[in-house]
């Protein structure tokens, strides 16, 4: 097959504020045919995640920061194009975190997980509802939130990848699901398409009044994706023994490395008065339990009880600009880059 031309986004400097095109360099390399034990993979989908902004910074974080000069880290799904490794054959669908590059030459199959592709399940499902995103919703909500039928659940960034799944699992558990999102269209989508009981546009609504109306019995679980003024408003309505799975704080990510740092909730005393459990979690801690979570989620998906949406941007060359869609609220559902066509 000869040489393969590969393209990659390499981190050139640490972003200040929003990620910009100047923070990255577009690099071309030539990969030779895979030798013994090597596997050549073509990237099909790249996951864009709010945490890309964290990985690009050198703040104290849950994984080593991406080093300057390194290919930007990112969750990926691809197809094996050629293989010198006994366990991988051309056409195999594989997942990994080989990052923002069009091709990957894996040594010894390192970092490649062969996907047991299920009939009738589209490939983008493995990068969303049946991938790390879906599992973040599943384990964060069920393991930390410990929902009981009849309880009220509020989720922020509710029309996004994680939030949209949290609200639907809340309904499956017999809870009242209230979503907070950034547009009227997203709020309509939550109620009409995903079965949320209520939705609040935090950009236009009086948050306090809308939450009082949407949560007449208070809030038992707040699935935290944003931080900021949404948190302050929801905390006022937390019930006794409420649970707060702390999944993300996207409203702060562009300021983490600034001098100001991150504000906590302005009504922290509520945690004491209401004996609230707040627990931060990172989905990688749940990797060993993924088969169980994916199994149950796949069942709900097949029964039509869980729906998912992917928001797809075409072309790896557009990845840097596209990641800011997450911070602008331009995405609905899981944001992916389609780097090349599905086989």
Ligand X SMILES: NC(=O)c1ccc[n+]([C@@H]2O[C@H](COP(=O)([O-])OP(=O)(O)OC[C@H]3O[C@@H](n4cnc5c(N)ncnc54)[C@H](OP(=O)(O)O)[C@@H]3O)[C@@H](O)[C@H]2O)c1
Task: Tell me which residues touch ligand X (CB under 6 A).
Answer: 49-51, 133, 136, 157, 159-163, 181-183, 186, 225-226, 228, 230, 247-251, 281-283, 326-327, 329, 331, 335
Minimum Å distance from CB 280 to ligand X?
7
Minimum CB separation from ligand X for residue 253, in Å?
7
Q: What is the dihedral of CA 106, 286, 55, 252, to 10 degrees?
A: 160
Q: Which is nearer to ligand X, 4 or 225 (CB)?
A: 225
Indicate the length of the chain as a whole number.
343
Q: How far is the CB of 169 from ligand X (least distance, A)?
A: 14
As a whole number of angstroms, the distance between CA 32 and CA 229 comes to 52
Q: Taking the complex as a whole, how short is the minimal distance between the CB of residue 58 and ligand X, in angstroms?
A: 18
To the nearest whole angstrom, how small is the minimum distance from the Cβ of residue 328 to ligand X? 7
26/327 with CB nearer ligand X: 327
3-state secondary structure of 294: helix
Smallest separation, CB 10 to ligand X (Å): 23
Residue with smaller CB distance to ligand X, 127 or 276: 127
Nearest approach, Cβ of residue 133 and ligand X (Å): 6
DSSP string, 113-180: EE--PPTT--GGGGGTTTSHHHHHHHHIIIIII---TT-EEEESSTTBHHHHHHHHHHHHTT-EEEEE
Q: What is the DSSP string of 208-256?
A: HHHHHHH-TT-EEEEEBS--THHHHHHHTTEEEEEEEEE---GGGGGGT
Which residue, 218 or 329, has its beta carbon nearer to ligand X?
Answer: 329
Least spacing, CB of residue 141 vs ligand X, in Å: 12
Rounded-to-integer distance, Cα 256 and Cα 57, Å: 8
3-class state of residue 341 by DSSP:
coil
Handedness of CA 166, 194, 154, 310 (dihedral sign): positive
Annotate 57-81 with b (16+ C-beta within 10 A) or e (fewer): beeeeeeebbeeeebbbbbbbbbbb
CB of 32 or CB of 289, closer to ligand X: 289
Per DSSP, the three-state class of 196 is: coil
Q: Name which of 99 and 163 has its Cβ closer to ligand X.
A: 163
> What is the Cα–Cα distance from 290 to 131, expressed in whole angstroms?
9
Q: Which is nearer to ligand X, 31 or 219 (CB)?
A: 219
Are 282 and 62 in contact by the 8 Å Cβ rule? The answer is yes
Judged by DSSP in three states, 311 sits in strand
Interior/surface letters 325-339, b for 16+ CB within 10 angstroms, e for the rest: ebbebebbbbbbbbb
* Identity of the residue, 43 or 51, whose beta carbon is nearer to ligand X in the bound complex: 51
């Amino acid at each position: 097959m000869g040489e393969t031309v590969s393209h990659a986004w390499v981190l050139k400097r640490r972003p200040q504020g929003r990620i910009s095109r100047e923070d990255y360099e577009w690099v071309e390399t030539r990969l030779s045919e895979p030798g013994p034990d090597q596997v050549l993979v073509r990237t099909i989908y790249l996951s864009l995640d709010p945490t890309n902004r964290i990985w690009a910074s050198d703040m104290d974080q849950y994984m080593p920061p991406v080093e300057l000069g390194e290919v930007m880290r990112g969750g990926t799904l691809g197809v094996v194009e050629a293989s010198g490794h006994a366990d991988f054959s051309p056409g195999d669908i594989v997942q990994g975190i080989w990052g923002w590059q069009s091709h990957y030459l894996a040594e010894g199959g390192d970092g490649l997980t062969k996907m047991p592709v299920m009939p009738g399940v589209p490939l983008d499902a493995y990068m969303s509802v049946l991938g790390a995103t879906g599992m973040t919703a599943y384990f964060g909500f069920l393991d930390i939130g410990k929902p009981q039928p009849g309880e009220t659940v509020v989720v922020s960034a509710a029309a996004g990848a994680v939030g949209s799944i949290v609200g639907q699992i809340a309904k499956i558990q017999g809870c009242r699901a209230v979503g907070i999102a950034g547009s009227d269209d997203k709020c309509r989508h939550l109620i009409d398409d995903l079965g949320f009981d209520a939705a609040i546009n935090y950009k236009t609504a009086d948050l306090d009044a809308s939450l009082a109306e949407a949560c007449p019995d208070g809030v038992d679980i707040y699935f935290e994706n944003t931080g900021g003024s949404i948190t302050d408003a929801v905390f006022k309505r937390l019930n006794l023994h409420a649970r707060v799975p702390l999944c993300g704080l996207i409203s702060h990510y562009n300021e983490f490395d600034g001098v100001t740092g991150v504000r906590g909730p302005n009504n922290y005393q509520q945690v004491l008065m209401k004996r609230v459990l707040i627990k931060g979690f990172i989905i990688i801690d749940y990797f060993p339990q993924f088969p169980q979570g994916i199994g149950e989620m796949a069942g709900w998906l097949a029964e039509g009880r869980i729906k998912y949406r992917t928001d797809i941007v075409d072309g790896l060359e557009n990845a840097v600009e596209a990641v800011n869609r997450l911070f602008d609220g331009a995405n609905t559902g899981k944001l992916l880059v389609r780097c090349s066509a599905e086989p």
